[in-house]
């Protein structure tokens, strides 16, 4: 997904001379093509995310649309106040890009698990959060961000994420990517949505049709129309993020008194486990098998 | 700090108060956002807005917030949380350098806020990138929020620290207007090292009962008599 990001950013930078990429000493084997083609619009700010974000805001105040790029918590939580005060309060066009959404970095440990970022950034003024499910969505997001410069956060996976669906990302609300005329809607965000698509195939074979939605845009809430979900008696949400401040909570709030909404999210106890992303999804109850169990439980 | 800002705005800056966003203006960022009363007063004196608007300072619905606010004409950047101004100023200075613009960026910092690690990230950055048209002015009054700098987290030797981070340094008496002028008016090549003006100052300068007193970090004159005495000592008495 990070390759899709940089390829699309290159496309955008060729037609939008305002695009500027700042990395926090990360992006080896990913961002080099951008640095080579646009050396005047590229900067490695070093391992210093507070300064990186302040510099990005300063560059943005002089007309650039700046993308900051680093792993998970580094360009987000480490410099949250710079995003809040420097970027959002001044409404500057800075897009924070975090690679390694959720538990993409698996065995590299909890420092690299990005599972509180949505909660931390959702509450900031003028902040747009985009969480693509697959490389195709990621490309659509970069194009949309280039056309809509504003304080924003792009949460992408790492490498090798499967194509989840062939649709473009929707920025208005949940986008149906599996339609089985089911009674249950599974709404997911980010690469973990692949588990929902796998679960939907298993459920269909078992005679339990479900519909699957990708929720790409997570903020601002007022821009998200969740009306389509009200047609379902049961909704299951899925995210590689903790419950507090995550997508499940958000949808529960937006849907009001929806009858049956189950949230599959990262349990806090998962920080004590170790494993690959697949193993952690299994332990944390976020894999296809867990989704199948949950749907069978709610119907 | 009033002396530093008065000389900066009065004698040094290339700016147009009636066109606050004039593209070729020099940029000023007051990172020690709690000192905004001085900045607003100077901006009013420079005719960025009518002086009488200062009466709205701190009132409900006012744009004159009691930490630096970009809602006020002439203010580039809101501050208040310390350690934000210099990284932002680095971004502006880098933008000017990349675009071949010749305007300068001035960031005014307190000594206490140099405790913030973000400043040292920015100091390392500016030295490395030779942001020659970036100037940091440090109001070095030796007192921070809850004690003396020497007791809380000593910055000494401050000038040497900047030099070690590849800055040029001018150490001056921050109340001597000719020294301030001389330090700030020196021409700066875009590819020179950044300049740190370490201005040795006295908190509450000019008012005998306020000088060096931590209390007056928090407290303005409380009574009409006290205000009158402050103005008299500053040569502004009725």
- Model confidence pLDDT, tens digit, residues A75-125: 999 999 999 999 999 999 999 999 999 999 999 999 999 999 999 999 999
Q: Is B25 on the interface with A (CB under 8 A)?
A: no
Interface touch B91/A61, C-beta < 8 Å: yes
Q: Residue B208 domain-assigned? A: no
CATH topology of domain A2-156: Rossmann fold (3.40.50)
Structural domain of residue B40, as residue ranges? 2-201
* Least Cα separation, residue B23 to chain A (angstroms): 9
**Is the pLDDT at B237 greater than 70, yes or no?**
no
Q: How many structural domains are present in chain B?
A: 1
Chain A residues touching B95 at Cβ < 8 A: 58-59, 61-64
In the block, residue with structure tokens 């502004």: B236
Classified as helix, coil or strand, A231 is: helix
Per CB-CB distance under 8 Å, the chain A contacts of B84 are 54, 81-82, 85-86
Q: Does B115 touch chain A (CB under 8 A)?
A: no
Closest CA–CA distance from residue B125 to any residue of chain A (Å): 7
B122/A51 CB distance under 8 A: yes
How do residues A131-176 score in pLDDT, each as one tens digit?
999 999 999 999 999 999 999 999 999 988 999 987 788 999 999 9
| Interface mutation vs chain A, best among B75, B91, B136, most A CBs within 10 Å | B91
The secondary structure element, H or E, covering residue A3 is helix A2-15
Contact A119, A241 (CB under 8 A): yes
Strand order in the sheet with A234-242: A175-178, A210-214, A184-188, A234-242, A260-266
pLDDT, averaged across chain A: 96
| pLDDT of B59 over the 70 cut | yes
Return the pLDDT at B220.
86
In a domain, B84, yes or no: yes
pLDDT digits (tens, 9 = 90+) for B135-183: 999 999 999 999 999 999 999 999 999 999 999 999 999 999 999 999 9
How high is the pLDDT of residue B197?
98
Topology of domain A175-298 in CATH is Rossmann fold (3.40.50)
User: Is residue B149 one of the residues assigned to a domain?
Assistant: yes
Question: How many cross-chain Cβ pairs, A to B, lie less than 8 Å apart?
Answer: 87
Cα–Cα nearest to B189, from B93, B121, B76: B93
Out of B77, B81, B91, closest to residue A55 by CB: B91
**Band of residue B219 on the pLDDT scale cut at 50, 70, 90:** confident
- Which chain B residues touch A50 with a CB distance below 8 Å? 83, 87, 117-118, 121
ipTM: 0.97
Q: Please answer yes or no on whether B78 and A85 come within 8 Å at the CB atom.
A: yes
Query: Could you state, in order of their start, the residue ranges of all structural domains in chain A?
Result: 2-156, 175-298
Crossing angle of helices B117-128 and B85-99, rounded to 10°: 20
B213 found inside a domain: no
CB contact under 8 A, A57 and B99: no
Of residues B70, B93, B99, nearest to A90 (C-beta): B70
The answer to whether B197 touches B172, Cβ cutoff 8 Å, is yes
Q: Which residues of A touch B (CB under 8 A)?
A: 40-41, 43, 45-46, 48, 50-51, 53-64, 81-82, 85-86, 89-90
Q: What's the pLDDT at B238?
A: 56
Residues of chain B contacting A81 with CB distance shorter than 8 Å:
81, 84
Can you read off the two tokens belonging to residue B198?
Answer: 């370490």
Identical fold, A2-156 and A175-298: yes
Q: What residue in A sits closest to B70 (Cα-Cα)?
A: A90
What's residue B188's pLDDT? Answer: 95
What confidence score (pLDDT) does residue B126 get?
Answer: 98
Domain of B22, CATH number, reads 3.40.50.970
Identify the residue among A41, A42, A58, A78 best suited for mutation to test binding to B, counting B beta carbons within 10 A and taking the highest. A58
Report if residue B219 sits inside a domain: no
CB contact under 8 A, B91 and A43: no
């Amino acid at each position: 997904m990070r390759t899709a990001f940089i390829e699309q950013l290159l496309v955008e930078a060729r037609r939008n001379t305002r695009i500027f990429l700042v990395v926090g000493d990360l992006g080896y084997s990913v961002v080099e093509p951008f640095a080579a083609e646009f050396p005047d619009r590229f900067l490695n700010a070093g391992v210093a995310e507070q300064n990186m974000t302040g510099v990005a805001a300063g560059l943005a105040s002089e007309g650039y649309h700046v993308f900051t790029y680093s792993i998970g918590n580094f360009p987000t939580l480490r410099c949250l106040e710079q995003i809040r005060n420097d970027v959002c309060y001044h409404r500057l066009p800075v897009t924070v890009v975090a690679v390694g959404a959720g538990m993409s970095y698996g065995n590299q440990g909890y420092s690299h698990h990005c599972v509180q970022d949505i909660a931390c950034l959702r509450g900031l003024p003028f902040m747009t959060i985009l969480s693509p499910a697959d490389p195709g969505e990621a490309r659509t997001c970069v194009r949309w961000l280039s056309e809509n410069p504003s304080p924003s956060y792009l949460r992408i996976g790492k490498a090798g994420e499967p194509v989840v669906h062939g649709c473009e990302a929707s920025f208005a609300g949940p986008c149906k990517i599996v339609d089985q005329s089911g009674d249950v809607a599974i709404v997911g965000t980010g690469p973990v949505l692949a588990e929902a698509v796998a679960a939907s195939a298993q459920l269909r074979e078992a005679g339990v049709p479900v519909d699957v939605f990708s929720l790409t845009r997570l903020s601002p809430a007022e821009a998200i129309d969740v009306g389509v979900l009200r047609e379902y008696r049961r909704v299951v949400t899925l995210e590689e993020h903790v419950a507090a401040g995550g997508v499940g909570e958000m949808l529960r709030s937006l849907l009001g008194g929806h009858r049956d909404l189950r949230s599959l999210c990262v349990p806090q106890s998962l920080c004590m486990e170790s494993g690959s992303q697949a193993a952690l999804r299994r332990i944390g109850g976020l894999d296809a098998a867990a989704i199948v169990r949950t749907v069978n439980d709610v119907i | 700090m009033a002396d530093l800002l008065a000389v900066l705005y009065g004698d040094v800056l290339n700016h147009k108060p009636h066109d606050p966003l004039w593209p070729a203006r020099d940029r000023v960022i007051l990172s020690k956002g709690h000192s905004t009363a001085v900045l607003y007063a100077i901006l009013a004196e420079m005719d960025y807005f009518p002086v009488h608007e200062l009466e709205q300072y701190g009132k409900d619905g006012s744009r004159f917030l009691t930490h630096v606010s970009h809602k006020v004409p002439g203010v580039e950047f809101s501050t208040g949380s310390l350690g934000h101004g210099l990284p932002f100023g680095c971004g502006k200075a880098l933008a000017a350098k990349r675009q071949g613009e010749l305007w300068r960026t001035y960031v005014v910092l307190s000594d206490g806020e140099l405790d913030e690690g973000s400043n040292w990230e920015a100091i390392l950055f500016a030295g490395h990138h030779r942001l020659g048209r970036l100037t940091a002015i440090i109001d070095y009054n030796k007192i921070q929020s809850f004690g003396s700098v020497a007791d809380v987290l000593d910055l000494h030797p401050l000038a040497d620290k900047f030099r070690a981070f590849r800055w040029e340094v001018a150490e001056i008496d921050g109340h001597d207007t000719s020294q301030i002028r001389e330090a700030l008016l020196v021409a700066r090549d875009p590819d020179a090292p950044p300049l740190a003006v370490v201005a040795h100052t006295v908190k509450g300068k000019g008012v005998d009962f306020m000088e060096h007193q931590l209390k007056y970090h928090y407290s303005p004159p409380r009574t009409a008599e006290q205000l009158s005495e402050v103005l008299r000592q500053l040569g502004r008495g009725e």
